[in-house]
């Protein structure tokens, strides 16, 4: 690469590596062992419940327990290198033990959304064919329907309060069983997670097993995770992420944030760790730097975060736009913002400029927006500290090339809109068992992201919108993000989502779904606001008020669900 290829390198800090030649570790199992030896007795993960009940595991405890689980998988469950293990659980102490155990065993980790229906689980299980499933008991009732016709031979059941001290663990268990009845009887053969660890320890001691032997021959290019995504086509598929993909992306991300100091950080993890953003950036990267991760099993309602902010000196947090927007509107958060916070990073969806400004006004700290996808492990770009630009996704991380291309894959001139294409060591190996889908997004070593963007002359990138979300009104392109940014700037609008709907006169029309904070606002008021800031064809023709908008488990507003509702409504007419 030359300076002409990447003008953005001028914005790197002097001590930053422009290129990262090779991963620091051969595989994640080796990384975990090394880090645990360095920070042995320091707290690694703390689960904080909404009422403040908590439990903590040290680096040494996570290392020992994940060793025991690795032995269980290999010696008791009979798994071998490359076998898939599905994890379906919310944030909690069981997650790092299980995830690291899978990777130490030389197996492939498959993250599963805990909120999936049985049908959604079945589709993912049918595709990845897991040899084992680690699942939280509150979701286990879905197993029979999800595995009908293709059973999973090993079922390991854990609890939200796993590894908390005995009193809070029992209280939470009783509440789940008898009060909210979120835990039902489990109707499939299974083993409890603590019992699996005990069995692993027994075999480890009796047979003098060296756990490192399981992963010593795992090469950097071997598969570490199947991370499922709708990708650029909307069809669920598993992105094959290698050990090198994940380790390099951690190194790339950490290079961009020199303020992170090893052995001192306290990270708030409200985003679910099954999601690639929290998985790589929160879970893996902050373990690597010896940070303490405060795990929130569920961030909804946002008051669930209150005790974590009160009880721990949070120095860093990640989130999506809706999380930052929601906290901006919480009185308890505005009255007592986190005093030790160094920075916050945003990803997963566009960070609206008004939300970022309000966050800085409340906390005194900047939100650094980044950009990435499941297929890229995920981080491709990040705003350098002290050089943040409003609305920008920043500059490519080290060892990464980004460019904007036309429909034929050819680069477009700087300042021209085009599809963002990416090349770097964090780009996936392909989609699991889907060579045609892989070929559709990989072109001469470049990954086509499906996002429309613009590169400034000095190398900063801005996302215009998802290619598939673009609305075409009388031949003019309308990007929902632009309209949503305009709506977000109105003080009476809490949040919004914009889609295109069929229109006899213009082909498509802009429709806005809006949640109000000022209930007195009318559609006419909102259109008048938009007309001050947008050209006429971008102003929403249709406005629908909602009490809430559909969101993913990460908190990302789901435009696709709103589009599906509209299509069903039209079909019923």
Query: Could you tell me which CATH class the domain 471-572 is placed in?
Result: alpha beta
CB 461 within 8 A of CB 455: yes
pLDDT of residue 4: 58
Angle (nearest 5°) at CA 128 between 122 and 132: 85
Pairwise CA distance, residues 305 & 310, whole Å: 9
Pairwise CA distance, residues 320 & 469, whole Å: 19
Beta-strand runs (E) in 234-338: 237-242, 266-269, 292-295, 316-319
CB 107 within 8 A of CB 73: yes
Torsion angle of the four alpha carbons 87, 88, 90, 92, in this order, in degrees rounded to the nearest 10: -40
In terms of C-beta distances under 8 Å and separation of at least 24 residues, what long-range contacts does 445-449 make, across chains too? 446/403, 446/405, 446/409, 446/421, 446/422, 447/375, 447/376, 447/421, 447/422, 447/423, 448/232, 448/405, 448/409, 448/419, 448/421, 449/232, 449/373, 449/375, 449/376, 449/380, 449/419, 449/420, 449/421, 449/422
Tokens standing for 407? 């429909």
CB 163 within 8 A of CB 57: yes
| DSSP code string of 199-243 | HHHHHHHHTT--THHHHTT--TTSEEEEEEE-TTTTS-EEEEEEH
pLDDT of residue 230: 58
| Rounded CA Rg of the chain | 24
Query: For 70-130, what is the HEC assignment?
Result: HHHHHHHCCCCCCCEEEEECCCCCHHHHHHHHHHHCCCEEEECCCCCCHHHHHHHHHHHCC
Pairwise CA distance, residues 79 & 71, whole Å: 10
| DSSP code string of 5-34 | T-GGGGGS-TTS-S---S-SSSSHHHHHHH
Residues contacting residue 413 through CB under 8 Å, at least 6 positions apart: none
Residues contacting residue 42 through CB under 8 Å, at least 6 positions apart: 58, 59, 263, 290, 292
β-partners of residue 109 are 85, 225
| Burial state string for 25-36 with b = 16 or more CB within 10 A and e = fewer than 16 | bbbbbbbbbebb
Tokens standing for 125? 């299980």
Cβ atoms within 10 A of the Cβ of 217, count? 11
Pairwise CA distance, residues 205 & 546, whole Å: 59
Q: Give me the residue label for tokens 């031979």.
A: 153
pLDDT of residue 470: 81
- 8-state DSSP, 278: I
Angle (nearest 5°) at CA 326 between 320 and 329: 145
Listed by start position, the domains of the chain span 471-572
Pairwise CA distance, residues 515 & 416, whole Å: 33
Crossing angle of helices 480-488 and 523-533, in 10° steps, is: 110
Q: Which pairing describes strands 401-405 and 418-423: parallel, antiparallel, or unpaired?
A: antiparallel
Residues lower than pLDDT 50 in the chain = 1-3, 231-234
Helix, strand or coil, per DSSP, at residue 351:
coil
pLDDT of residue 233: 42
């Amino acid at each position: 690469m030359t300076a002409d290829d990447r003008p953005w390198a001028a914005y790197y800090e002097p001590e930053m590596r422009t290129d990262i030649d090779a991963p620091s570790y051969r595989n994640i199992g080796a990384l975990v062992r090394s880090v645990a030896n360095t920070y042995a007795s320091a707290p690694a993960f703390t689960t904080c419940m909404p009422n403040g009940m908590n439990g903590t595991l040290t680096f040494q405890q996570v290392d020992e327990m994940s060793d025991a689980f690795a032995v269980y998988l290999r010696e008791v469950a009979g798994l071998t290198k490359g076998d898939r293990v599905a994890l379906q659980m919310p944030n909690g102490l069981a997650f790092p033990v299980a995830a690291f155990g899978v990777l130490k065993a030389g197996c492939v980790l498959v993250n599963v959304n805990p909120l999936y229906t049985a049908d959604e689980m079945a589709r993912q299980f049918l595709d990845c064919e897991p040899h084992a499933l680690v699942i939280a008991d509150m979701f286990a009732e879905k197993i029979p329907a999800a595995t009908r016709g293709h059973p999973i031979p090993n079922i390991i059941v854990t609890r939200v309060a796993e590894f908390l001290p005995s009193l809070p663990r029992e209280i939470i268990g009783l509440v789940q069983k008898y009060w909210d009845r979120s835990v039902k009887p489990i109707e499939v053969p299974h083993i409890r997670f603590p019992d699996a660890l005990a069995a692993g320890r027994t075999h480890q001691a009796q047979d003098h097993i060296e756990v490192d032997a399981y992963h010593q021959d795992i090469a950097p290019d071997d598969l570490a995770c199947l991370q499922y995504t709708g990708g650029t086509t909307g069809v669920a598929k598993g992105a094959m992420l290698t050990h090198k993909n994940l380790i390099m992306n951690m190194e790339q991300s950490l290079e961009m944030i020199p303020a992170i100091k090893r052995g001192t950080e306290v990270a708030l993890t409200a985003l679910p760790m099954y999601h690639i953003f929290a998985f790589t950036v929160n879970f893996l990267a902050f373990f690597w730097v010896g940070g303490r991760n405060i795990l929130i099993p569920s961030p909804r309602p946002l008051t669930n975060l209150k005790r974590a902010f009160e009880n721990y000196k949070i120095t860093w947090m990640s989130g999506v736009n809706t999380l930052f927007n929601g906290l901006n509107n919480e009185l308890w958060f505005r009255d007592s913002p986190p005093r030790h916070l160094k920075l916050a990073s945003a990803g997963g969806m566009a960070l609206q400029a008004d939300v970022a400004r309000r966050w800085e006004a409340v906390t005194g700290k900047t939100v650094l927006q980044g950009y990435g996808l499941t297929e890229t492990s995920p981080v491709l770009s990040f705003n350098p500290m002290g050089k943040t630009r409003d609305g920008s996704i920043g500059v490519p991380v080290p060892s990464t090339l980004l460019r904007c291309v036309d429909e034929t894959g050819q680069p477009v001139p700087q300042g021209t809109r085009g599809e963002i294409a990416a090349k770097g060591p964090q780009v996936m190996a392909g989609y699991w068992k889907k060579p045609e889908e892989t070929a559709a997004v990989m072109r001469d070593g470049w990954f086509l992201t499906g996002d429309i963007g613009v590169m400034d002359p000095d190398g900063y990138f801005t996302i215009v919108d998802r290619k598939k979300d673009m609305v075409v009104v009388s031949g003019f392109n309308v990007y929902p993000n632009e309209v949503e940014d305009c709506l977000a700037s109105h003080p009476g609008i809490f949040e919004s989502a914009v889609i295109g709907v069929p229109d006899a006169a213009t082909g498509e029309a802009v429709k806005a779904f809006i949640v109000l904070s000022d209930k007195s606002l009318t559609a006419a008021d909102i259109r008048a606001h938009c007309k001050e800031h947008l050209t006429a064809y971008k102003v929403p023709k249709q406005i629908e008020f909602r009490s809430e908008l559909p969101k993913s488990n990460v908190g990302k507003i789901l435009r696709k669900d709103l589009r599906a509702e509209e299509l069903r409504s039209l079909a019923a007419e």
